[in-house]
């Protein structure tokens, strides 16, 4: 009862207001209507009007939208770029696009042709749209307050057709990316000079290069995302105050694949994430003041590679389970703190039963140092010889760094705080 009542009030309040101002126009385009062409409809509409696009395929070359319209697709209408054009360019504030399929954008080595390009605009919402077989999926330039919600972007199915980034954002701020799925693009999500944005619950899977790639993008929050089976994992570069929470980084296998590559990152937090079966879960190079807290490192080749160029790294309360190497470095690394982690390879004891091992754990093995210097020695992996070497080194340390140790390794797995929804949506 109450809800109906409120609805009536809102109609009463706003509807007449639109009529009075002459903003209430709604046009329907459909292949079976008189009004068949979207770009024609755009010309007839004014800011604040609504265009309803009915099911069908619209091949109109490159369409420009420079009005603040709401476009609603009904029955998944397709705007087809015929592998030649940029399907839709939005160059106006206050645009909302819902339920439209963008297909077959053109591709080029010189210009960034996108299925949907948002340029110099504010207050944009793109939701429940599908992007198929495009070069760039969504391209964002110099815009703010843009939201991409519940979209699905799939590319790379056509042989010979190049694919570029799924959601590409440049020089923008206050973006919200939520619940999007990106597959088969070059980079799933690409940020350059993007600040103060939220990236939440997206699934970037099977992209050719990075699942997520960002540079010079400060003060962003990445939450509950899934980055799986991307060619090179996730690259995070030249950014400050990055906050990554509750994400899943999985199955990023390959010669130069990482769960996360941290390059020149400052003042950032990596918390409660799961790193599962990556060649290198976190590779950190030139990173300063990083807190790595309560993450799960499961079955990775290297859980952590922290180069000596990093400083003030804190590594606390993480679980290290089933990794080939827990920690590797290339020189004289000093951690700010490293304690209360759980290491499945820890062989110490806890005589006073306080849950904390009585002897420190040294995650760097002799062999991990050797393989760091000479990758060919992978040939000796898991050999009896290497086992003996590691054992000898742990009894009489001579080459492994003395100060790299978990001073208080915990005896039992640490309870993990990840929201399970990350996993439910595989």
Partner 1 sequence: MKKVVKYVAFDILRNKIVIAYMVFLFLFSMGLFIIEEVPEKSLLSLLTLNLILIPLISIMFSTIYIYNSSEFIELLAAQPIQRKSLWLSFFIGLASALSLAFFIGCGIPVLLFSANSVGIIMIITGWILSVIFVSVSMFISVYIKDKTKGIGVSLLTWLYFTLLFDGVVLFVLFQLLEYPLEKLIIGLSVMNPIDLVRIISLLNMDVSALMGATSAIFKQSFAGNMGSLFSFGVLILWMILPLYLSVRKFDKKDL
Please state the closest distance from residue 303 (CB atom) to partner 1, in A: 9
Beta strands in 238-279, from DSSP E residues, in sequence order: 243-245, 248-250, 258-263, 266-271, 274-276
Give the DSSP letter string of 290-311. Answer: EEEES-EEES-SEEEEE-TT-E
* Burial call 233-258: b when 16+ CB within 10 Å, e when fewer: bbbbbebbbbbbbbbbbbbbeeeebb
**Does the footprint of partner 1 cover residue 399 (CB under 8 A)?**
no
382 binds partner 1 (CB under 8 A): yes
Using CB under 8 A as the criterion, what x/- string covers residues 212-251 for binding partner 1? ----------------------------------------
Cross-strand bridge partners of residue 296: 274, 319
Shortest Cβ 183–partner 1 spacing (Å): 23
Residues 6+ apart with CB under 8 A from 135: 105, 106, 107, 108, 112, 113, 114, 115, 155, 161, 162, 163, 164
Query: According to CB under 8 A, which one of 21, 109, 352, 374 is a site residue for partner 1?
Result: 374
Burial class (CB in 10 A: 0-12, 13-18, 19+), 122: middle
Query: Binding to partner 1 by residue 383, rule CB under 8 A?
Result: yes
Q: Which two tokens stand for residue 124?
A: 């944009």
Most distant CA atoms of the chain, gap in Å: 86
Q: Which stretch binds partner 1 (CB under 8 A): 53-61, 127-135, 218-226, 386-394?
A: 386-394
Q: Which stretch binds partner 1 (CB under 8 A): 51-59, 182-190, 276-284, 358-366?
A: 276-284
Answer yes or no whether residue 301 interacts with partner 1 by CB under 8 A: yes
Which position has the token pair 């969504």?
138
Question: Site for partner 1 (CB under 8 A): which residue of 148, 302, 346, 366?
Answer: 302
Return the residue of 215, 370, 408, 414 that touches partner 1, per CB under 8 A: 370
Helix (H) or strand (E) holding 2, with range, is helix 2-21
- When asked if residue 322 is in the footprint of partner 1 (CB under 8 A), the reply is yes
Binding of residue 398 to partner 1 (CB under 8 A): no
Size of the site for partner 1 (CB under 8 A): 30
Position 299 contacts partner 1 (CB under 8 A): yes
Token couple for 407: 């001073």
Choose the stretch contacting partner 1; rule: CB under 8 A; options: 75-83, 90-98, 233-241, 271-279.
271-279
Shortest Cβ 301–partner 1 spacing (Å): 4
Q: Which stretch binds partner 1 (CB under 8 A): 59-67, 128-136, 215-223, 316-324?
A: 316-324
392 binds partner 1, rule: CB under 8 A: no
Q: Does 388 bind partner 1 (CB under 8 A)?
A: yes
Q: Does residue 351 contact residue 373 with C-beta atoms inside 8 Å? A: no
Nearer to partner 1, 214 or 325 (CB): 325
Residues 162, 111 contacting (CB under 8 angstroms): no
Residue 33 contacts by C-beta under 8 Å, 6 or more apart in sequence? 54
Question: In the complex, what is the shortest distance from the CB of residue 302 to partner 1, in angstroms, rounded to a whole number?
Answer: 8
Query: Does residue 376 belong to the site contacting partner 1 (CB under 8 A)?
Result: yes
Return residues touching partner 1 (CB under 8 A).
253, 255, 277-280, 299-302, 322-324, 370, 373-388
């Amino acid at each position: 009862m109450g809800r109906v009542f409120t609805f009536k009030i809102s109609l009463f309040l706003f509807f007449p207001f639109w009529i009075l101002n002459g903003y209430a126009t709604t046009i329907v385009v459909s292949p079976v209507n008189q009004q068949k062409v979207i770009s024609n409809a755009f010309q007839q509409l004014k800011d604040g009007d609504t265009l309803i696009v009915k099911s069908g395929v619209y091949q109109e070359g490159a369409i420009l939208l420079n009005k603040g319209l709401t476009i609603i697709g009904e029955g998944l209408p397709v705007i087809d770029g015929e592998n030649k054009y940029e399907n839709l360019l939005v160059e106006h504030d206050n645009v909302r696009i819902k339920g439209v399929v963008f297909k077959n954008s053109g591709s080029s080595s010189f210009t960034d042709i996108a299925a949907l390009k948002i340029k110099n605009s504010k207050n944009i919402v793109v939701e429940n749209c599908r992007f198929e077989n495009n070069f760039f999926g969504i391209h964002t330039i110099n815009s703010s307050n843009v939201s991409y919600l519940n979209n699905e972007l799939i590319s790379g199915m056509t042989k010979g057709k190049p694919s570029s980034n799924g959601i590409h954002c440049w020089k923008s701020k206050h973006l919200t990316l939520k619940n999007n799925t990106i597959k088969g693009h070059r980079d799933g999500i690409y940020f350059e000079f993007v600040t103060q944005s939220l990236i939440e619950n997206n699934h970037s899977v099977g992209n050719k290069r990075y699942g997520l790639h960002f540079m010079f993008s400060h003060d962003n929050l990445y939450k509950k995302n899934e980055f799986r089976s991307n060619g090179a994992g996730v690259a995070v570069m030249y950014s400050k105050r990055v906050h990554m929470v509750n994400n899943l980084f999985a199955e990023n296998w390959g010669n130069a694949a990482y769960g996360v590559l941290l390059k020149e990152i400052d003042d950032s937090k990596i918390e409660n994430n799961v790193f599962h079966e990556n060649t290198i879960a976190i590779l950190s190079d030139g990173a300063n003041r990083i807190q790595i807290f309560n993450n799960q490192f499961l079955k990775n080749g290297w859980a952590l590679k922290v180069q000596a160029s990093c400083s003030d790294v804190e590594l606390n309360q993480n679980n290290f389970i089933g990794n080939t190497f827990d920690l590797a470095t290339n020189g004289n690394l000093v951690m700010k703190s490293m304690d209360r982690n759980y290491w499945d390879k820890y062989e110490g004891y806890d005589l006073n039963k306080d849950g904390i091992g009585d002897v420190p754990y040294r995650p760097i093995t002799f062999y991990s140092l050797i393989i760091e210097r000479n990758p060919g020695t992978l040939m000796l992996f898991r050999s009896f010889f290497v086992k003996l070497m590691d054992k000898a080194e742990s009894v009489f340390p001579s080459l492994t760094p003395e100060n790299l140790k978990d001073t208080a390794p915990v005896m039992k797995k640490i309870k993990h705080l990840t929201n399970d929804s990350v996993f439910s949506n595989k």
